[in-house]
Amino acid sequence: MSVHVLCFHCDSTVNLTVHPFNIAPTAWRLSFAINNAAASLGCHFMPPFEDRDLDSLIEKMGPLGPYHYRATFLEAVVGLFGSPSGLSSEQIAGKIAQAVAREFKPYAKFVNRWAAKNMVGYRNCRHPAQLPKLEKFVLDPGTLDSATRWDNLRGQCRPHKPWLNKLPRLIAINSGSAFESCERNQIARELIDAVGSPGGRRHIWLLRTDTPDCVAAFSEWLEYDRQAAWPNNLVPVIKVDSNNADRELPKLRKIKSPVRAVYVDSLRFKKSWDLQGIDWVILGTENVRHRWKHYDLESAYDLSEQCRKAQVAFFVEHLGLPSLECSSHAWPSEMRIRQIPAWFRQYGMKNTALVGA
């Protein structure tokens, strides 16, 4: 989650889901902490064990193994260490357990927070060993609710992003595999309720998804089963390229949203784009160093012309070349385009309906 980001088409980003593996410490960090804990007691690896044996043990158990299977892990680690005179294996195990607990503190906090929101009878699961073993993408509870309290940027100027001047804050939501792997009621609680809250309605949210068909099914469920409208300020955004655009764009149009956007992730050849029902085309995804995508300049210009004729806002995030990345001033003049949908500027005005207002 970041209040300020380097990408040019939005002000901030937030993650709807998190994978526990991303929170767990790496094998190297655990090895380093355990080695330091052992050294503080005068312990050392007995021949022929080396650091790689400890790394191998951690990798074999998986990123979350040392947390979920503490007793087995500590037993194995203590077996790798010698026992200097005057120190018992229990003392060594206790020191190592403290080191491992410190490294897993962020993960343990997340699991507790997740369990408090999602576990039935959580009050009976106070002991860490009783917490669930999370090994897939799960919703990060309360993250979007925190983002709703970020400052409202409407009417303010952005010196480094003048094309966003006076707009509400634009927040990009990375949804991961939420719409595939999480329960719809949980998504509605964490996403729809936050975006439609009084604080959430101050901002415009860009919902990035790789599964537009799942999002479309969710929007139908939201309307017919929950009897709630898709929030006006929640803009679905999907990633397409020259090859899959014809297959993915119809899925995006099925999402019951007044505004829709696409990232063009790679552009290798000219093609005719069906832009019906699309309000914003962003050329180039987030600006990640050393991960350049290929963009054919003639094809990019052709796409910009198609957007102009269809009255679709066209925004060049980057052109996919390191030499052209640093400043848009280095781009061809016809590609220095950073348009924003007119609806964004109208949002929040008296003549614009707000869901839940």
Domain closes at, from 86, 106, 126:
106
Same domain, 101 and 142: no
Q: Cα dihedral sign for 173, 177, 179, 182?
A: negative
Q: Considering the domain boundaries, does residue 97 fall inside one?
A: yes
Same domain, 79 and 32: yes
Structural domain including 29 reads: 21-106
Same domain, 170 and 317: yes
Q: Considering the domain boundaries, does residue 123 fall inside one?
A: no
Distance CA 328, CA 326 (A): 7
Q: Is the pLDDT of residue 343 over 70?
A: yes
pLDDT in tens, 26-65: 888 888 888 888 888 877 655 444 556 677 787 788 777 8
DSSP labels, 58-111: HHHH-TTHHHHTHHHHHHHHHHHB---TT--HHHHHHHHHHHHHHHTHHHHHHH
Q: Cα dihedral sign for 44, 46, 47, 52?
A: negative
Domain count, the chain: 2
- Model pLDDT, residue 44: 67
The predicted model gives 172-194 an average pLDDT of 88
Domain closes at, from 67, 88, 106:
106
Q: Considering the domain boundaries, does residue 119 fall inside one?
A: no
Q: Considering the domain boundaries, does residue 236 fall inside one?
A: yes
CATH of the domain at 178: 3.20.20
CA-based angle 102:104:107, to the nearest 5?
135
- Model pLDDT, residue 40: 83
User: Side chain identity at 14, as an amino acid letter?
Assistant: V
Same domain, 72 and 143: no
Same domain, 45 and 153: no
- Model pLDDT, residue 203: 95
Q: Considering the domain boundaries, does residue 353 fall inside one?
A: no
Backbone angles phi, psi at 316, to 5 degrees: -95, 105
Same domain, 295 and 223: yes
Same domain, 92 and 154: no
Q: Would you say 212 and 206 are in contact if contact means Cβ atoms under 8 Å apart?
A: no
Q: What is the mean pLDDT of the chain?
A: 80
Lowest mean pLDDT among 141-155, 228-242, 277-291: 277-291
Q: Is the pLDDT of residue 170 over 80?
A: yes
Q: Considering the domain boundaries, does residue 2 fall inside one?
A: no
Same domain, 281 and 333: yes
- 259: its two tokens: 């505004």
- Model pLDDT, residue 116: 66
Closest CA to 15 of 190, 164, 151, 221: 190
- Model pLDDT, residue 85: 63
pLDDT in tens, 223-250: 999 899 999 999 999 999 888 889 999 9
Distance CA 260, CA 279 (A): 5
- Model pLDDT, residue 350: 45
Same domain, 92 and 164: no
pLDDT in tens, 185-208: 889 988 999 999 999 999 999 999
The predicted model gives 322-339 an average pLDDT of 68
Closest CA to 286 of 239, 236, 341: 239
Q: Is the pLDDT of residue 297 over 70?
A: yes
Same domain, 199 and 95: no
The predicted model gives 89-95 an average pLDDT of 82
Same domain, 159 and 281: yes
Q: Considering the domain boundaries, does residue 324 fall inside one?
A: yes
Same domain, 146 and 62: no
Task: Kindly report the pTM of this predicted structure.
Answer: 0.71
pLDDT in tens, 312-329: 999 988 776 554 444 566
Q: Considering the domain boundaries, does residue 4 fall inside one?
A: no
